[in-house]
């Protein structure tokens, strides 16, 4: 936790000295409270989008097209951010192509093609072997010099390495090899390819926020001489259409947050509704998940209040009562609570009651039970951590981790991500509640990434209960750098020993919960690696000076939610710095 209470006992009375967390105010003010909807333009664009969608679908179903051409089309659709319109068609093609058992050792398949196919198959859960890259390695186990000048192929291989699993040494070597070569090649490449390389070295596709990555690729694709005008037009209109929907949702969330007025009632807490919505967008941006996005945003915003109460304000007695009240989940418990937290407790129960009413209409009232149980578990672990700090207790690393795996909020966020998804079944909630290995693996990594990223700031605030401190004491490390490097060496692979075994297709998986878990996993890591944020609204700090979670710079908010002056959406791409998007994954390892 960032900070905690300090109690001073005098001879006359017990005086509670509450620390000041000094969270910066929200940068956004009331700019998202109003939303201007151009119904005429929206109707015009929606008609054109449907026409273009049919054209693209015809491309995917065109007879006589070979695998290489169609895989390139799939890649373009995914990078442009419009593949969600054609999920069935794309899956049908990928399954057919995968079952062909193509001989990638054939000279007809160059490095770009092999790496692209490998990445696309793995992204969609197909168990393609890394042996497809053997032909690019010489008898000494080194990559052949013949590919050193192939910048396009090198970039494709670089992106493919982020889909590696534990033990795939050839891809581990490929990451180092391609990174070094691309850095030296970048200044000498053509404008479009050079931009793609420069961006990839800062942010690989696999870890990116889908909307930011789509905007970035559209900006570069429109400069590509070989671009398909139909795809480009479709991508621009679709991006604008989704942007309008997201702005409408953000307006709804902003009004709800303002009406609650918790920022005034609880001045110690962070005002981060916009950042919470950005997080939810990263989990699912598609239009069919509008209700789910709003629900998830609201639950994250309320959880941030709870976190700040345990972290920055409550006394041990107050927190004990509040913890019990959450466990009992009964409005009658409100009379036992401190005055300052009563409005929040009432608002929390009311919010879940509203969710329950909505979900009951769909026959999915069971979902609320799992969300409540996940929140109760989170609160219990918050209380344990608060007591540790207050009592000055630094637990052994194993004890710390058993509690901290829950306080990282990953389990809660993954569970609540399914609330508004009509396709999420009771079995899938149950699957998550049992914490399968793939979930535990991600819990460990997200917790430790967060601890590494926020160590310095938490130390400045007097926080001793961190994974880094516990590990250093237990292992005799004298410096934070040694502790961080040792820990990160074992977990940045990039995801750990169960990395893609959880993503690759197998019988008996729970597809919806698995897919959402993976997206939550990406956003948890991305938000930490962005390096600033939730604690310091609108910060532009990078991983070198991280402040906390949920970093969203003004330029990114402008990119995602601001109207373009051009009614065609992008007369000129919105400019934004790669460093403002996300820090390089490798910077933390």
Ordered per-residue pLDDT tens for the chain, 589 residues: 444 443 433 333 356 767 656 777 888 888 889 888 778 888 888 999 999 999 999 999 999 899 999 999 999 999 999 999 999 999 999 999 999 999 999 988 999 999 999 999 999 989 999 999 999 999 999 999 999 999 999 999 999 999 998 889 999 999 999 999 999 999 999 888 999 999 999 989 988 889 999 999 999 999 999 999 999 999 999 999 999 999 999 999 999 999 999 999 999 998 999 999 998 998 899 999 999 999 999 999 999 999 999 988 999 999 999 999 999 999 999 999 999 999 999 999 999 999 999 999 999 999 999 999 999 999 999 999 999 988 888 999 889 999 999 998 989 999 999 999 998 999 999 988 998 877 787 788 778 777 877 777 677 666 667 777 887 888 776 555 544 545 554 444 444 433 444 455 533 343 454 565 556 655 555 555 444 344 544 443 322 222 223 445 666 666 676 644 444 443 333 333 333 223 222 222 2
What does the alpha-carbon distance between residue 345 and residue 353 come to, in Å, rounded to a whole number?
12
Cα angle 181-124-300, degrees, rounded to a multiple of 5: 95
Question: What's the CATH superfamily of 6-23+268-552?
Answer: Farnesyl Diphosphate Synthase (1.10.600.10)
- Report the CATH superfamily, name and number, of domain 63-234: Terpene synthase, N-terminal domain (1.50.10.130)
Distances in Å between the Cα of 339 and the Cα atoms of 6, 210, 221, 265, 308 are 20, 42, 56, 10, 16
Sign of CA dihedral 80, 83, 86, 92: positive
Q: Which residues contact 363 (CB under 8 A, 6 or more apart)?
A: none
Query: Chain centroid to CA 215: how far?
Result: 17
Can you give the residue ranges of every domain in the chain? 6-23+268-552, 63-234
CA distances from 47 to 59, 214, 238, 568 (A): 19, 22, 11, 14
Are 305 and 262 in contact by the 8 Å Cβ rule? The answer is yes
């Amino acid at each position: 936790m960032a900070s905690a209470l300090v109690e001073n006992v005098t001879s006359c009375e017990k005086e509670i000295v509450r620390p000041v967390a000094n969270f910066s105010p929200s940068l956004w003010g009331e700019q998202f409270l109003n939303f201007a909807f151009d119904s005429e333009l929206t109707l015009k664009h929606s008609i054109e989008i449907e026409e273009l969608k049919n054209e693209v679908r015809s491309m995917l179903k065109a007879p006589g097209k070979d695998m290489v051409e169609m895989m390139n089309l799939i890649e373009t659709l995914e990078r442009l951010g419009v593949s969600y319109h054609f999920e069935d068609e794309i899956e049908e093609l990928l399954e057919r192509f995968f079952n062909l058992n193509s001989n990638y050792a054939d000279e007809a398949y160059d490095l770009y093609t092999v790496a692209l196919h490998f990445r696309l198959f793995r992204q969609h859960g197909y168990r393609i072997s890394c042996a497809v890259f053997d032909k690019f390695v010489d008898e000494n186990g080194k990559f052949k010099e013949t590919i050193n000048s192939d910048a396009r192929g090198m970039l494709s291989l670089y992106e493919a390495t982020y889909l590696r699993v534990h033990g795939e040494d050839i891809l581990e070597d490929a990451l180092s090899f391609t990174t070094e070569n691309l850095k030296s090649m970048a200044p000498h490449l053509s404008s479009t390819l050079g931009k793609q390389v420069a961006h990839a070295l800062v942010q690989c596709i696999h870890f990116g926020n889908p909307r930011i990555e789509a905007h970035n690729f559209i900006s570069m694709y429109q400069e590509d001489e070989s671009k398909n005008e139909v795809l480009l037009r479709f991508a621009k209109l679709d991006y604008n259409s989704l942007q309008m929907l997201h702005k409408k949702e953000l307006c709804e969330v902003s009004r709800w947050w303002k009406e609650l007025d918790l920022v005034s009632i609880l001045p110690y807490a962070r005002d981060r509704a916009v950042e919470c919505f950005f997080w939810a967008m990263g989990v699912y941006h598609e239009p069919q998940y509008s209700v789910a996005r709003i629900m998830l945003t609201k639950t994250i915003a309320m959880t941030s209040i709870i976190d700040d109460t345990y972290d920055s304000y409550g006394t041990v007695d107050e927190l004990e009562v509040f913890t019990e009240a959450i466990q009992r989940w009964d409005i009658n418990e409100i009379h036992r609570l401190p005055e300052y937290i009563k409005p929040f407790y009432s608002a929390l129960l009311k919010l879940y009651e509203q969710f329950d009413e909505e979900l009951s209409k769909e026959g999915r009232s069971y979902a609320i039970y799992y969300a409540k149980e996940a929140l109760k578990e989170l609160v219990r672990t918050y209380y344990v951590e608060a007591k540790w700090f207050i009592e000055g207790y630094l637990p052994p690393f194993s004890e710390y981790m058993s509690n901290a795996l829950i306080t990282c909020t990953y389990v809660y966020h993954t569970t609540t991500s399914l609330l508004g998804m009509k396709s999420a079944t009771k079995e899938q909630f149950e699957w998550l509640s049992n914490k399968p290995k793939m979930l535990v693996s991600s819990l460990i990594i997200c917790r430790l990434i967060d601890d590494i990223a926020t160590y310095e700031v938490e130390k400045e605030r007097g926080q001793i209960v961190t994974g880094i401190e516990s590990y250093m004491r237990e292992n005799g490390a004298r410096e934070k750098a040694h502790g961080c490097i040792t820990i990160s060496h074992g977990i940045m692979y990039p995801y750990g020993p169960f990395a893609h075994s959880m993503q690759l297709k197998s019988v008996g998986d729970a597809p919806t919960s698995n897919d959402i878990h993976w997206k939550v996993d990406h956003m948890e890591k991305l938000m930490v690696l962005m390096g600033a944020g939730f604690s310091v609204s609108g910060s532009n700090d990078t991983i070198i000076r991280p402040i906390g979670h949920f970093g969203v710079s003004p330029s990114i908010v402008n990119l995602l939610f601001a109207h373009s002056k051009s009614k065609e959406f992008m007369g000129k791409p919105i400019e934004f710095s790669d460093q403002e998007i996300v820090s390089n994954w490798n910077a933390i390892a």
